[in-house]
A and B are shown apart, each in its own frame.
Chain A
Amino acid sequence: ETGVTQTPRHLVMGMTNKKSLKCEQHLGHNAMYWYKQSAKKPLELMFVYNFKEQTENNSVPSRFSPECPNSSHLFLHLHTLQPEDSALYLCASSQAGAPNTEAFFGQGTRLTVV
């Protein structure tokens, strides 16, 4: 248990479905992130939130829509995805500006788009 919890762990969805990924951090951090991890590729940063405000959107297609209602929760809303969006989606949190600045990850959601 890393203090970052992601649900669901696995998700299979059709291209016309709408689903949401949820992330919750219990570490008191002020920054939260969504990353995409595909096979043989480095982690791709998707979105960054600092104090609930989105500070980075890494040219992510609009079929991915993040939401950060408070500093402990982060969602990723999915709609009309493509098969190439199948990947492991990782949520992370950190304390920006603090002496120890490491990021802590959740276990990820394994997404398969059919």
Chain B
Amino acid sequence: QKEVEQDPGPLSVPEGAIVSLNCTYSNSAFQYFMWYRQYSRKGPELLMYTYSSGNKEDGRFTAQVDKSSKYISLFIRDSQPSDSATYLCAISNTGNQFYFGTGTSLTVIP
């Protein structure tokens, strides 16, 4: 069983839509949860970081962690064409081991 599972998509939505991206993980010991955005031919860029359970909001982005279900989500409100990228979820324990999802490719159509 993989440590992290993520639907690779691709996901295509119209501009202004609410986007929901999700990952599941297998080990309940993980405490740190991250979302990265990766544009084509670029390195992953840290978008959101959450420790333990709960929600974290930053502008149009909301990260949600449900440790009881081992489920993490990233919501994008009022999606823009500039949000078109691949989104990777990542989990970590002590900051020395990171496990990444395969990434979900998102296209926001103007």
Mark A residues whose CB is within 8 Å of B.
Answer: 2, 4, 6, 31, 33, 40-43, 45, 48, 50, 55, 88, 90, 92, 94-108, 110
- Contact yes or no, A45 B98, CB < 8 A: yes
Expressed in whole angstroms, the Cα–Cα distance for A71 and B57 within the complex equals: 33
Q: Hey, which chain A residues are within 8 Å of B42, CB to CB?
A: 107-108
Mark B residues whose CB is within 8 Å of A.
Answer: 4, 8, 32, 34, 36, 41-46, 49, 51, 88, 90, 92, 94-98, 100-103
Taking a contact as CB atoms closer than 8 A, the residue among A40, A100, A107 that contacts B43 in the complex is A107
Expressed in whole angstroms, the Cα–Cα distance for A91 and B43 within the complex equals: 9
- Contact yes or no, B88 A110, CB < 8 A: no
Q: Hey, which chain A residues are within 8 Å of B88, CB to CB?
A: 43
Taking a contact as CB atoms closer than 8 A, the residue among B43, B95, B103 that contacts A2 in the complex is B43
**10 more A-B residue pairs beyond the given contacts A42-B100, A94-B95, with a C-beta to C-beta distance below 8 A:** A2-B46, A4-B43, A33-B98, A45-B98, A101-B95, A102-B34, A102-B49, A103-B92, A106-B43, A108-B43
A50: shortest Cβ distance to chain B, in Å?
A: 7
Expressed in whole angstroms, the Cα–Cα distance for A2 and B8 within the complex equals: 25
